[in-house]
Structure formats: structure tokens, C-alpha cells
Amino acid sequence: MFRESPIIRWRNYSDRYKLSGHKCTKCGANYFEKKGMCVCGNLIFSEMFFSGNGKIVSFTKIHSGPSVFEEQSPYCVAIIDLEEGARITAQIVDCKYDELKIGLGVEAVFRKLYKSGEKGIIHYGTKFRLKL
Amino acid sequence: MKIGVIGIGITRFGEIWDRGLRELLLDSQLRALNDAKIVPQQIDAMFTGNMLGDSLSGQVHIGAMATENLNLDKPSIRVEGACASGALALRQGIKAIESGDAEIVMVNGVEKMTDVDTGQVTTALMGAGDEELEGFHGLTFPGLYSLLANAYMHKYPSLTRDILAEVAVKNHFHGARNSYCQFKNEITKETVINSTMVADPLTLFDCSPITDGSATIIIAKEEIAKKMNSEVFITGSGLATDTLSLARRNTLTAIPAGQKAANQAYAQSNITSKDISFAEVHDCFTIAEIMAVEALGFAKEGEAFNLYKNKETYFDSKHPINTSGGLKACGHPVGATGIKQAIEATMQLRGEAKNRQVLNATVGVTHNVGGSGATACVHVFKRLR
């Protein structure tokens, strides 16, 4: 279904691959994915790039994933405060779940997200790991 | 606002393999007509809450299905707001009466969830979150509430794993006393804590189940309801929204939309949380009930643990919460849940709740949430006779 569509993700390659974001030209707020209207009411955004550095705000370990993620289970997902001010959701990899704590520093890494269906289109994107 | 409840009907909640969407819906519709003692032709309009007809049954156009079931050609609309679809349908029914467009409205909530495997249900339910920002990263619905739970328990360590389990224990205690409930068995704290981990820290027994079911409520203009000797009236309907994704929320330790919707409904009803006899709240996960109890004003943020520590949320206690068994024990056919809550409130206020009856119940509140809190709808029910 939609998770097997190459196009639905292609639109977001810039966000997913380069961690690009959108800066409000009026108040300077940064968004990971474009928001229709900034909280300040402005509609104009300029492109910016996140450094990939951030901190864990909350995290969990998913033991029972949706269909396309089933073979990866269990895996860790967190909400991360990026240092430029946006908050995003992403997987945390290369660590033991017990090592995760709210407030710990993380950095972005480029990884495979999932392979969808029989046609096997592979979706890539950003995950995070604990800062070394 | 005074909108009368003139009829209620509900199917058994559970794994109902021998019936599809249409049959489930017809069952609750006929029961409600029978309870109201009216014929289908007296209904002016219908609203039906349903979230997953498209993704799990390949069926949309549930509005027309609902009128076709009763051989009617009246206005009929499907209402969708994720797990809050039921309450949203009820609210649309109320608005149709308030606008003068209808005098008697049938409001249904129906969901058929057990025809497909769990992975597909998990994917479909995640549609209530933000597909681009959350679903793409493998986040699941239990995962969203686990993120809330971990953030909450980090800020308020008084909410322990044990106390979270008490929410499910209490809801199963109530469920064991409810005939239309999915799980009619009592459980212990140990059952919750030792059950399979779904998304840390939430285990299988912290989560509401996958359920089939349908619920119907018939509401009417005040004058008509009074002529029909209705005892129960809806006096407030509040609705608020928030960001689809948790990451864009201002807080991860509360569901602000719930509080905003409650404040609207309380103001319309001239009540405060102190006037409330009981509440049916959206406990899709145990942590959600904790946040709901705080949103409704029974405890300040971070303090709801006290109510569970002191066992104050049982039907015969100070703040009865989820006497139906809640989403946890009664089951959670998503589109039907909001209507089930309204039916439980009506049964309590009519004095028909048998061995889970809240004594001297005069004011009941229903609290229905969509997604991880992006939609919240609260209704106030009063006994006025």
C-alpha cells in the first residue's frame, strides 16, 4: 500500500537523506518537515541543514512493529531535540536499550529504514546513535 | 444545551468472527430503536463514527450503509477522527439538532478489526499519528504512548510501574461486572507487569485490545425527549485539537486537548470537576488513563497516582473511572468506543448498571481521544428527572 510507494517517500528525500529543514523567514523557527504555517503565522521558509546533533527527550523499545518493520523488531525509537531547535522522531541504533537515558546526546547516521513488499523498494533515512 | 438521550443499543464487544461491519452496525441500530420505542422513519439524520472501514474491510461510504440498513433515504454521514470518531459523530448529531436541521438523530459507532493480522491493524492504527514524521520511522501506536509514559515517569517518578498496572487491574475488575465487555476476567498487578512487552514500558496488559463492536445512541431535541420521559440529557460538548505528531507537541507529560475540551464542556454545563459522579475516559493505554484523569481535573498534573494508590477510581469509590471496563477490558473497536462511553454514562444515570452501579449518579463525563492526543472530545451527561 502507501508504504510500498516510491513516490510518497521521494518527495522527502532531502529531509531524509541530508537532514535538511525549513527556517521561518520571519521568526527563525526551524522545522524538520515543512509546516504549512509557522506558529508565528508566516508562510515563507528558507532551506537550512541540521547538524545532526541532539538530545533524547523520550524513548521506547518497540517489540511489535508494523508489517514492514516486523523483521527488525525489537528496535528503539526516540523523540530528539535537535540543537537547532526542532524536535523529531527517529530510531536510535548501535546501542543497548539499557544505555538510553533522557537527556543523553545523540548524533545522526544514514541508514536503511525498511524494505517494502515484494517489489523490494528500499527506503533510507536518518537514524541516531549515542554520541561517542 | 440540553439534548435528550432517548435510546441506546450496543453489541457484545470482542472477536465477532461471524459478523461483518454491516451486521454489527444493524445489531446496535435495532437495539437502540427498540430501547427508544421508535420506528426508523422517525429518525431525521444519522452520523456514524468509523475509523478503519477502508483499511481493514475495503469499505468506505459507511454513512449510506447506515441508512440502507434501516431502509431510509435520510441524510447520513460517516465521521472520522481516529479513535475519537465516535464522540465526534455524537457531537455532529448534537449540532444537527441544535441547528434545527433535525429533531431525532441516530448516532452510531462501528468497527470491524479482527478480519486481518495484527501487523496490518498496527499499520492502520498508526494512521492516527503522523505518517511522515512518526510512522515512517517504525513508530507504533503503543510506541507513541510509551514515549509519553517514559517522559511522564521521568518527570513524575511517583507514577511507578506498579501504579500504572493498577489502572488495568481496576478496569478488568469493572469489566468482570459488565455483560457487553470483551474481557470479563479480573487480573492481578503481576499479570500486567509480567505480560509480554509491547513497547517499553507498556506490556500487553497495559494496552487496549483489538475488538469488533458497534454502538448506537439515539438523541433528540429537549422537548421531544421530555415527552418521551427521557431521564438523561447531554448538557455539554467540548472539542479541541493539537499537533498530529508528539514531537511537535508543547508537552509530553499531558494531553492538553483533553483539558481544553473538558473545560468547554464543563462551562456549557455549569459544572466543575467536583460535581462529577463518574467518568468514562480514553484508556487506550494505562498511561492514557492517568493523563485523562488529570485532564478532567480529578488530580493535578503529576498527582493522579494518588487516586490509584488509594484505589479511589473503583465504581463504589470517590472518583469512579471507566465502570464499563474502559478500553482495556471492555475492548476498543475504535469508532465505536466514543458511543460506548455515552451508553455507559446513560446506563449509569438511568440506574441500569447493575453490579457496577455508581450510587446517586447525577453527572457523568465521557472523554474520547484520537491519536496520541491530536483530537479530544468531552461530553457531559446529566440525570434531569
| Per-domain residue ranges of chain B | 3-116+211-232, 138-207+234-383
Nearest-CA distance from A42 to chain B in Å?
A: 17
Please list, in sequence order, all residues whose beta carbon lies within 8 angstroms of the beta carbon of residue B346, skipping any fewer than 6 positions away: B5, B8, B217, B232, B381
- Under an 8 A CB cutoff, do A59 and B131 touch? no
**Number of A–B residue contacts, CB under 8 Å:** 104
Contacts A77 to B, Cβ<8 Å: 137-139, 143, 147
- DSSP of B282-327, one letter per residue? --SBHHHHHHHHHHTTSS-TT-THHHHHTT--STTSSS-B-TT-HH
- Under an 8 A CB cutoff, do A97 and B133 touch? no
Region B179-188: mean pLDDT is 97
Region B260-277: mean pLDDT is 98
Region B20-36: mean pLDDT is 98
- Under an 8 A CB cutoff, do A91 and B133 touch? no
Indicate the residue of A9, A35, A69 with minimum beta-carbon distance to B138: A69
Nearest CA in chain B to A90: B137
Q: Is A110's Cβ below 8 Å from some Cβ in B? A: no
Nearest-CA distance from B321 to chain A in Å?
A: 28
* Active-site choice (B83, B181, B207, B284): B83
Q: Hey, of B55, B116, B131, B137, which one would you mutate to test binding to chain A, going by the most A CBs within 10 A of its CB?
A: B137
- pLDDT (0 to 100) of residue A18: 87
The full set of domains in chain A, from first to last, is 2-130 (2.40.50.840)
Model pLDDT for residues B71-84, shown as the tens digit of each residue: 999 999 999 999 99
Q: Directed axis angle between helix B286-295 and helix B141-155, to 10°?
A: 60
- Under an 8 A CB cutoff, do B148 and A58 touch? yes
Q: Is A12's Cβ below 8 Å from some Cβ in B? A: yes
Instruction: Give the count of alpha carbons within 13 A of A37, CB side only.
Output: 5
- pLDDT (0 to 100) of residue B349: 98
CATH (residue range B3-116+211-232):
3.40.47.10
- Asked, colleague to colleague, whether B3-116+211-232 and B138-207+234-383 share their fold, the answer is yes
- Whether B45 shows a pLDDT value over 70: the answer reads yes
Task: Give, for all 132 residues of chain A, the pLDDT tens digit.
Answer: 677 777 777 787 777 888 999 999 999 999 998 788 999 999 999 999 999 999 999 999 999 888 788 888 999 999 999 999 999 999 999 999 999 999 999 999 999 998 877 777 888 999 999 998
Residue B222: other Cβ atoms inside 10 A: 15
What's at B122, amino acid-wise?
A: T
Contacts A88 to B, Cβ<8 Å: 133, 247
Indicate the residue of A9, A66, A91 with minimum beta-carbon distance to B140: A66
State how far the Cα of B97 lies from the Cα of B222, in Å rounded to an integer: 9
Nearest CA in chain A to B121: A66
Identify the three-state secondary structure at position B28.
Answer: helix
B332 is catalytic: yes
State how far the Cα of B287 lies from the Cα of B292, in Å rounded to an integer: 9
* Active-site choice (B174, B282, B319, B332): B332
Rg of the Cα trace of chain B? 19
**Architecture (CATH level 2) of domain B138-207+234-383:** 3-Layer(aba) Sandwich (3.40)
Contacts B253 to A, Cβ<8 Å: none
Place of cell 454545563: B269
